[in-house]
Chain A
Amino acid sequence: MARFLAGKGVQYALVLLFAVTLNFMLPRLMPGSPLVFLAGEDTAFMPQAQRQQLLQAFGLDRPVWAQYLIYLGNLARGELGFSFQQGRPIAEIIAARLPWTLLLVGLSLLLGTLVGVAWGTLSAWRRGSVFDLSSLGLFMFFESTPSFWLGMIFIALFAAGLRWFPIFGAQTAGAALAGWALVTNRAWHLVLPLATLTLITIPGFFLIMRYSMLTVLGEQYIATAKAKGVGETAVMYRHAMRNALLPVATVFMLNLGVIVSGATVVETVFSYPGLGRLLFEAVLARDYPVIQAGFFVITVTVIAANMLADLLYPLIDPRVRRGA
């Protein structure tokens, strides 16, 4: 077991290094100068000497390998750098935006899992029925729907049309709210983006739970057919469900890694101030340090999720513990 973990550990470290290097190279290869965002859009009228001064002040004139070494050193120290555009530490920026993304995506993942698992179980239990088939149809539809389109429809209907919900943001700007009022205001702003993201998340869990349940039930069903009495069925239902949850657990943990960037599109449509949206804006603004730091956070998250899955899965499924 220890050797297995060590082996995996080394591999993940390599992945991390490779990903980090790639993350560093990518922004460097992009054309375009960040100068307009160093000094605002009026850099156009700046004499060459002054522009050079600015480039130097921000380290853009050093050779690439020097910048790389500095980057690695900083990462090792947990220093995420300083944003060109915002003029403040990136750790601060990410710390401000990350919670919103985690809130939005975390909640939708949770809700999606709960609803998906429950509904999937029910559907599997009543397989072949109208309920089952229409559920399948419904969730296949949502899985194939572009999330941003769903968001746009929601905004047009519920926000701009019926005016039940706000159109943008995580909370009402400028309103000095506190305590319970703040919580309800934020919850109110969360409804539509959460609904959109959840509707896209449920189908995956529904389908996998249903399949998984069917597999387990199928195995047991024949045996059950010989048994009598509801009590046994109930026991088998609990037992079956626990086994059926295994692949769901894996999928859940792997999806954690997609959290911080997967919601970019939804955050864009709803102007929700999260990390996905920050990354997108930073790339358009050629804000190199923010791009690098954002990638780093995403990479670490994905690798961590994978490692967690590797660690926990044998604990959940005793069959795997003995080695593949």
Chain B
Amino acid sequence: MAGVAAATLPYVRGPRRRFPLGSVGAIGLMLLAVLVGAAVLAPWITPYDPEQTSGAPFERPSPRHLLGTNDIGQDIFSELIYGARISLMIGSLAALVAISIGTAVGIVAGYFGGWADVVLMRLVDIVLVVPFLPLMILLAAYLGPSFWTIITVIGVLVWARPARILRAQVLSLRSVEYIEAARAVGASAARVLLRHVLPGVLSLSLAQFIQAASNAILIEASLSFLGLGDPTAKSWGSILYYAQVRSAFLTGAWLWWVLPPGILITLATLGFAFTGFALEVSLNPRLRR
């Protein structure tokens, strides 16, 4: 769905008002900067080590604990800041895996066509069909519901749509004159791919990467919430998992235990979506009207 968003964000040059295109991208980058900044600076800006029990369980927000404490007395504010590290890292790495696979597949399918194209695109259909929930549980059971398992699984499932989009891009590039010329002159496929096609898709890849990261963060949150993630890695999703299973709603604790992580997840997703969209628009003048 975030991909759809990317294709449709404004443009904003209407008859009455004018907003610079960059404002969307600017908001996105700002959000990301704040979150990434918080993640990087975590050891310095958190009041407590989130793994240590620093208070009584279920404390309400107070000057000592800005967002209170969780069920085992750990400071929620500190947890959230460290959670940025985990969630952002999982999102980015999963997206990296997805886009690497997607770009490779898109290039091969688009450039070589023929059987490779047919097989790969069918593979794309198949991947879109594989139910990802049991696949996650399978891998989680073998590899342990770890950081790396989630990254691998999300990556292995999210590459399909970008592959399609990149393939379309490669198809349109293929007929561009300088590539035809290069082939006519006898340049090897590898050379053409590396020198001409790859740079052509790189920027679209980047935009897709950012979209994928947006998706990945949401997926990781859902998986952790369902208890399929690693609950001992303090991602935002697993904070919500504990809030749910320790009955945060019923105690009014939901205000400081459920609301903030969800808002952060949304902001991170938005940040990536806006940035990715702005990038895509600036790369593709046709989207700009």
**Which residues of A approach B to under 8 Å, CB–CB?**
11, 14-15, 18-19, 22-23, 26-27, 29-32, 127-129, 132-133, 136, 140-141, 143-150, 152-153, 155-156, 160, 203-204, 207-208, 210-211, 214, 218, 251, 261, 264-265, 268-269, 279-280, 283-284, 291, 294-295, 298-299, 302-303, 306
Contacts and interface: CB of A to CB of B under 8 A. Distances in A.
Interface centre among B7, B125, B142 (most CB of A within 10 A): B125
Interface stretch (B102-110, B132-140, B173-181): B132-140
Interface centre among B13, B15, B131, B137 (most CB of A within 10 A): B131
A146 B270 contact: no
B10 interface: yes
Interface string B242-254: 0110000110001
Given A145-B262, A265-B226, A302 B128 contact: yes
Contacts, number: 162
Given A143-B5, A291-B134, 16 more contacts: A15-B122, A15-B125, A19-B129, A128-B14, A140-B274, A144-B2, A144-B214, A144-B273, A145-B266, A146-B237, A146-B266, A149-B221, A149-B262, A204-B1, A261-B131, A265-B225
B269 interface: yes
Contact of A146 (B4, B8, B218): B218
B17 A146 contact: no
A23 B129 CA distance: 10
A141 B1 contact: no
B9 A149 contact: no
B12 interface: yes
Interface of B: 1-2, 4-5, 7-19, 122, 125-126, 128-131, 133-135, 137-138, 141-142, 214, 218, 221-222, 225-226, 237, 240, 243-244, 249-250, 254, 258-259, 261-262, 265-267, 269-270, 273-274, 289
A207 B5 contact: yes
B1 A203 contact: yes
A28 to B, nearest CB: 10
Contacts of A280: 133, 226
A211 B244 CA distance: 38
Contacts of A152: 240, 243-244, 249, 254, 258, 262
A150 to B, nearest CB: 8
A127 B10 contact: yes
A251 B161 CA distance: 14
Interface centre among A15, A146, A210 (most CB of B within 10 A): A146
Contact of A26 (B135, B261, B262, B267): B135
A151 to B, nearest CB: 10
Nearest to B14: A128
Nearest to B227: A284
Given A160-B249, A207-B4, A146 B225 contact: yes
Contacts of A147: 222
A269 B243 CA distance: 12
A264 B18 CA distance: 42
A143 B138 CA distance: 29
Given A14-B122, A144-B2, A146-B218, A128 B15 contact: yes
Contacts of A149: 221, 225, 240, 258, 261-262, 265
A23 B134 CA distance: 9
Contacts of A291: 134
Nearest to A260: B131
A128 B226 contact: no
